[in-house]
Amino acid sequence: MTFNALSNARLVLVTGGGTYLGDHIAAALLAEGADVTLLVRPGAEDKIGALAQRARLIVADVWNPASLKGRGRGHGVVIHTVGGMKTDPRQGLTYDWLNVVSARNVANMCVSSGVPHMVLVSAVRAPWVSAEYIRAKREAELYMERIGLRSTVIRAPIVYTRGARRPLLNRLITMGGVIPPLSWLGLRRAAPMPIDILARGVARIALDPRPTDALFYAPELRRRNSARERRQGINESMLEAQLLSGESVAAINVIPEDAPFGWTPGQKR
């Protein structure tokens, strides 16, 4: 792909390349005609798959500010998907390290590189989500606000791949999020949603040139998908072929992983 050194609203850098969430969002951006740069952690370049044919790759570590220096230059938007719900305090992998420090480093990269807009994939509060995880995500949100960066926050629910086997309770909660009266009681925001709907919603919000709200929940993500897109599943093999051929794509399931938000470091540096 051609890389324009001038800042461009449709030139988007996505952190978390080679992960479930990052790769789906990158594929959705490509479907919208964006130029995509994937920020990949060292050693994970071989996980990109078909996206490597369509996206520019940058190898850097979001927990190492020096490796991020200048990486955002020329981009109009950075979408930060990295974080973690699984902690290991013995290794220094706390909620703050995984979610606050990574977002802080990327936000500082945006400021120093002249990126005008950062989108943070955050998390919605729900009974099945750790309160400490939510606290860390809120701290990351506040940091972007404090440094004066134009920021958009996506308070996303847990996501899943359509057609994949899920626990019965998970499926029931998903149904409750779209069927009244449970949907009126707050489940619309918290119920698990298909990854393709979330990815398209995030991509379309990030690329929207009009001034919009700074905070989005699941209902707003759904509204940015057509009725047909909300109903239909995805043919993964066909989408991978489309990525390789350069045709328009919607989203692609590249890596199945338990943690729904980004990747985590092997150890605290």
Does residue 218 lie in a domain region? yes
26, pLDDT greater than 80: yes
Question: What sign has the CA pseudo-torsion 39, 257, 94, 91?
Answer: negative
80, pLDDT greater than 60: yes
Number of domains in the chain: 1
Residues in the chain: 269
- Closest to 24 in 3D by CA, of 215, 240, 232: 240
Angle at 149 between CA 145 and CA 154, to 5 degrees: 65
Burial class (CB in 10 A: 0-12, 13-18, 19+), 32: middle
Residue 239 is inside which H or E element, if any? helix 236-245
Does residue 1 lie in a domain region? no
Does residue 264 lie in a domain region? no
Residue 1, both tokens: 């792909």
Q: How far apart are CA 26 and CA 24, in angstroms?
A: 5
Residue 180, both tokens: 């009244």
Minimum mean pLDDT range among 34-48, 81-95, 234-248:
234-248
What is the pTM (predicted TM-score) of this model?
0.82
Query: Greater confidence, 11 or 7?
Result: 11
What's the pLDDT tens digit per position in 197-229?
Answer: 999 999 999 999 876 679 999 999 999 999 999
Residue corresponding to tokens 């992960």: 19
Does residue 261 lie in a domain region? no
Q: What is the mean pLDDT of residues 57-83?
A: 95
Q: What is the mean pLDDT of residues 54-71?
A: 94
What's the pLDDT tens digit per position in 180-203?
Answer: 665 555 667 878 889 999 999 999
8-17/35-40 β-pairing: parallel
Q: pLDDT class for 66, splitting at 50, 70, 90? A: very high
- Any idea what the CATH number is for the domain that residue 138 is in? 3.40.50.720
Side-chain-facing half-sphere of 81: CA atoms under 13 Å: 30
Angle between helices 20-31 and 236-245 (to 10 degrees): 60
Does residue 132 lie in a domain region? yes
Neighbour tally for 144: CB within 10 Å: 24
pLDDT (0 to 100) of residue 176: 54
238, pLDDT greater than 50: no
Instruction: Report the DSSP beta bridge partners of residue 17.
Output: 40
Does residue 178 lie in a domain region? no
Does residue 33 lie in a domain region? yes
Does residue 200 lie in a domain region? yes
Q: What is the mean pLDDT of residues 60-67?
A: 95
What's the pLDDT tens digit per position in 109-125?
Answer: 999 999 999 999 999 99
Q: Determine the structural domain holding residue 207 and report its residue range.
A: 8-161+195-245
pLDDT (0 to 100) of residue 116: 92
251, pLDDT greater than 50: no
Residues 253 and 24 sit within 8 Å (Cβ to Cβ): yes
Q: What is the mean pLDDT of residues 232-256?
A: 46
64, pLDDT greater than 60: yes
Q: What is the mean pLDDT of the chain?
A: 81
37, pLDDT greater than 50: yes
Residue 142, both tokens: 């506040």
